[in-house]
Amino acid sequence: MNLRPYQQQAVNDIRQSLRTHKSVVFTIGCGAGKSIIAGAIAKSATDKGNRVLFLVHRAELCEQISDTFFGMCDVDDELCDIMMIQTARRRLSSISEPALIIVDEAHVFNKAYEKVFQYFPDSFKIGFTATPCRLNQGGLGNLFEDLLTSVSTRWLIDNKYLSEYRYYSFPLIDTSKLHTRAGEFVQEEVEKLLDNRAVFSGTVRQYQKITPGKKAMIYCGSIKASKEIVEEFNRNGITAAHVDGTMSKAERERIVSEYRQGKITVVSNVDLFGVGFDDKDIEVTILLRPTQSLALAVQQNMRCMRYKEGKTAIILDCCGNVVRHGLPDDNREWTLEPKAKQENTVKIRECPECFAVYPPTLDRCPYCGYAAVKEIQRKEKKTVEIDLVEVKRQKEIQDTKYSDLTAETWDDVERIRKTKKYKIQWAIRFADMHSIPVPHKYDYMRRFMR
Ligand SMILES: [Zn+2]
Cα(437) to ligand 1 centroid in Å equals 22
* Residue 346, in any domain of the structure: no
Together in a domain, 314 and 415: no
Calculate the average pLDDT of the chain. Answer: 86
* Residue 349, in any domain of the structure: no
Q: Residue 397: pLDDT above 80? A: no
Determine whether 189 is exposed, middle or buried from the number of CB atoms within 10 Å of its CB (0-12, 13-18, 19+): middle
Which of the residue ranges 162-176, 204-218, 349-363 would you say has the lowest mean pLDDT?
349-363
Cα(237) to ligand 1 centroid in Å equals 29
Together in a domain, 90 and 186: no
Percent of the chain with pLDDT over 70: 90
What pTM was computed for the model?
A: 0.75
Contact 153, 30 (CB under 8 A): yes
pLDDT at 135: 63
* Residue 79, in any domain of the structure: yes
Together in a domain, 195 and 251: yes
CATH of residue 251's domain is 3.40.50.300
* Residue 413, in any domain of the structure: yes
Cα(354) to ligand 1 centroid in Å equals 4
In which domain, by residue range, is 427 found? 400-449
The average pLDDT across 292-314 equals 91
Cα(195) to ligand 1 centroid in Å equals 30
* Residue 380, in any domain of the structure: no
Q: Output the DSSP codes for 54-97.
A: EEESSHHHHHHHHIIIIIIS---TTTEEEEEHHHHHH-GGGSPP
* Nearest Cα to Cα of residue 26 among 42, 43, 54, 7: 7
Helix, coil or strand: residue 322: helix
Cα(326) to ligand 1 centroid in Å equals 17
More confident residue, 79 or 400: 79
Together in a domain, 41 and 137: yes
Together in a domain, 29 and 103: yes
Cα(296) to ligand 1 centroid in Å equals 27
pLDDT at 450: 58
- Which segment, 208-212, 243-247, 325-329, 443-447, is predicted with the most confidence on average? 208-212
Cα(315) to ligand 1 centroid in Å equals 14
Cα(444) to ligand 1 centroid in Å equals 27
Beta strands in 237-335 (DSSP E): 240-242, 266-269, 284-288, 312-317
Q: Which of 127, 151, 175 is the last residue in one of the domains?
A: 151
The per-residue pLDDT for range 52-71, each reduced to its tens digit, is 999 988 877 888 889 999 99
The per-residue pLDDT for range 364-383, each reduced to its tens digit, is 888 888 886 554 444 444 33
Cα(291) to ligand 1 centroid in Å equals 25
Cα(151) to ligand 1 centroid in Å equals 29
More confident residue, 408 or 230: 230
Contact 328, 182 (CB under 8 A): no
Cα(368) to ligand 1 centroid in Å equals 4
pLDDT at 175: 92
Contact 297, 324 (CB under 8 A): yes
Cα(370) to ligand 1 centroid in Å equals 5
Cα(427) to ligand 1 centroid in Å equals 17
Cα(369) to ligand 1 centroid in Å equals 6
- Number of Cα atoms under 13 Å in the Cβ half of residue 227: 6
pLDDT at 342: 47
User: How many domains is the chain built from?
Assistant: 3
